[in-house]
Amino acid sequence: MLEVHILSLFPEAIKSYLDASILGRAQNAGLLQVHVLDFRQFAKGTRRNVDDRPYGGGPGMVLKPEPIFSAIEWVETNFGPARKILLSPDGVPFKQQHATEFVKEERLLLLCGRYEGYDERIRLGIDFTEVSMGDYVLCGGELGALAVVEATTRLIPDALGHNESAVQESFTQPDLLDHPHYTRPEEFRGMRVPEILLSGDHQKVDDWRQQQAAERTQQRRPDLLNHNNKKET
């Protein structure tokens, strides 16, 4: 079972998604356990402030280190050591390879930021793996945390009901997008299912899918193929 702890100032924003579809079924089946913790409860003072103005001036507010350190220490004291993941625009782009790595862990802890950013001592004092959802800025890390949890959960054996489903997808083959998919009916508004998929020849189907995946990647994401070529040279 994979155990996940999500630290967020807005737990209500993510709890409903965690209970739905694959994530909900994985929890009900005992394959996944998710705890969502509001780290504001670890802030001091009557107002429980988790942020403050940045030293040196500038816009926005910065997350204070004390409540975050305290929250993480509480989780690891009560549940055990965790692989710690920081959602941040400064992190490396999150990829399928990260999910493949994370699913091997016993326990994950994800920190969702808010406001202008983190006090740098949070990065310096805690051993985080920093990941980003892309070259854009969101209001917080909650959507990123859900993406990480879902991508990782899909790789847990039996989480999808058919383990091959998680293997035959975009990015599971190194640097390739997924091949086209078709289902019934055979013809829809003049568009027919490729005959090779109706042939019953599994080797030819596999070869066609591999070719289609390579062509789609070349058309839509040639940077992936270029990256692979650089690694081989």
Q: What is the pLDDT of residues 57-78, one digit of tens each?
A: 989 999 999 999 999 999 999 9
Q: What is the residue-averaged pLDDT of the chain? A: 92
Where are the strands (E) in the chain, listed by range? 2-7, 32-37, 51-52, 62-63, 83-93, 107-112, 117-118, 128-132, 187-188, 191-192
Chain centroid offset of residue 186 CA: 35
Is 163 a residue whose pLDDT tops 80?
Answer: no
Structure tokens at 69: 């350190």
pLDDT tens-digit series, residues 185-215: 999 999 999 999 999 999 999 999 999 999 9
Is 170 a residue whose pLDDT tops 60?
Answer: no
pLDDT band at 226 (very low <50, low <70, confident <90, very high): confident
Q: Average the pLDDT over 164-191 and give the result.
A: 78
Report all structural domains of the chain as residue ranges with CATH numbers, in order of start: 2-153 (3.40.1280.10), 168-232 (1.10.1270.20)
Output DSSP code: residue 153.
H
Structure tokens at 164: 């091959």
Q: How far is CA 220 from CA 143, 174, 210, 211, 213, in A?
A: 25, 15, 15, 14, 10
